[in-house]
């Protein structure tokens, strides 16, 4: 299934909740302020790197660009555009937004 | 506001831009209040430091890029901008990543400055 996180990892604990629940083989999409978790040097990097071992992690590129963080995208996390966002939703049977 | 009284007013910005309206609202209030010739300072703590991260490009999300407004603050004599050191470090950022000249202070140093204010406005 697809998990969507839209809050900054320093502001809210929704990324932690998501990663604690997400099952191997699932996908996580970071959008809005959630994209900060995908940037190099962010305190959330270690847990995201660990999650990459069993989850696909995507980030919405327009949200990264809006925040001036496109150059800081961490390795292993795949950027998608809005069409890619739709593809991810259609490819998975269910979707959970960790609001 | 009695004439001739200058108050120390600090705006405390702790939210990332675009995800919520706080950053833009703070900026609007700062610009309005700048007309009153007060002793104004802006503090950026926690995710608020992201407001000043260079290179916002908001075309893709179809929202107004308000980053250029921070560069205009100096024209309104708003030039005391403080950024929290710990917040930068936890986000892989440094003073060079900021879009305007800032003074980097520890949270404790910012706390001391807060004590000196007449008014604190939180965003």
Domain regions of chain B by residue span: 8-122
Q: Cα–Cα distance between A55 and A26 in angstroms, integer?
A: 5
Return the pLDDT at B81.
98
Contacts across the A-B interface (CB distance below 8 Å) = 73
Mean pLDDT of chain B: 95
| Chain-chain contact of A10 with B17 (C-beta, under 8 angstroms) | no
Return the pLDDT at B93.
98
- The residue-averaged pLDDT of A17-41 equals 97
SS3 A93: coil
Q: Chain A contact for B65, CB < 8 A? A: yes
Tell me which CATH homologous superfamily contains domain A2-22+35-93.
Answer: DsrEFH-like (3.40.1260.10)
**What's domain B8-122's architecture?**
3-Layer(aba) Sandwich (3.40)
pLDDT band, very low/low/confident/very high, at B35 (cuts 50, 70, 90): confident
| Chain-chain contact of B50 with A66 (C-beta, under 8 angstroms) | no
Residues sharing a CB contact under 8 Å with residue B2, sequence separation 6 or more, in sequence order: none
Q: Chain A contact for B60, CB < 8 A? A: yes
Return the pLDDT at B3.
62
Q: Cα–Cα distance between B43 and B2 in angstroms, integer?
A: 26
| Chain-chain contact of A66 with B92 (C-beta, under 8 angstroms) | no
pLDDT band, very low/low/confident/very high, at B77 (cuts 50, 70, 90): very high
From the list A8, A63, A68, which residue is nearest B54 (CB)? A68
From the list A11, A41, A65, which residue is nearest B92 (CB)? A41
Q: Which two tokens stand for residue B93?
A: 């950022």
pLDDT tens per residue, range A70-96: 999 999 999 999 999 999 999 999 999
Nearest to A69 by CA among B77, B10, B52: B52
Q: What end-to-end distance do the CA atoms of chain A give, in Å?
A: 16
- The residue-averaged pLDDT of B51-68 equals 97
Q: What end-to-end distance do the CA atoms of chain B give, in Å?
A: 22
pLDDT band, very low/low/confident/very high, at B34 (cuts 50, 70, 90): confident
């Amino acid at each position: 299934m697809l998990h969507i996180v839209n809050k900054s990892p320093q502001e809210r604990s929704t990324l932690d909740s998501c990663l604690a629940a997400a099952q191997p083989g699932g996908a996580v999409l970071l959008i809005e302020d959630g994209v900060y978790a995908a940037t190099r040097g962010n305190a959330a990097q270690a847990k995201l790197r660990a999650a990459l071992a069993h989850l696909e992690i995507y980030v919405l590129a327009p949200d990264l660009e809006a925040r001036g963080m496109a150059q800081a995208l961490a390795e292993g996390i795949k950027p998608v555009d809005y069409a890619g966002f739709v593809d991810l939703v259609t490819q998975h049977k269910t979707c959970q937004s960790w609001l | 506001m009695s004439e001739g009284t200058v108050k120390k007013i600090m705006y405390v910005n702790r939210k990332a831009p675009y995800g919520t309206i706080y950053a833009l609202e703070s900026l609007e209030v700062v610009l309005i209040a700048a007309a009153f010739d007060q002793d104004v300072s802006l503090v950026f703590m926690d995710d608020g430091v992201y407001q000043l991260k260079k290179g916002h490009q908001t075309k893709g999300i179809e929202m107004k890029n308000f980053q250029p407004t921070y560069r205009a603050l100096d024209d309104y004599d708003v030039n005391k901008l403080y950024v929290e050191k710990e917040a930068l470090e936890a986000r892989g950022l440094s003073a060079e990543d900021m879009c305007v000249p800032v003074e980097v202070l520890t949270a404790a140093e910012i706390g001391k400055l807060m004590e000196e204010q007449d008014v604190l406005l939180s965003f």
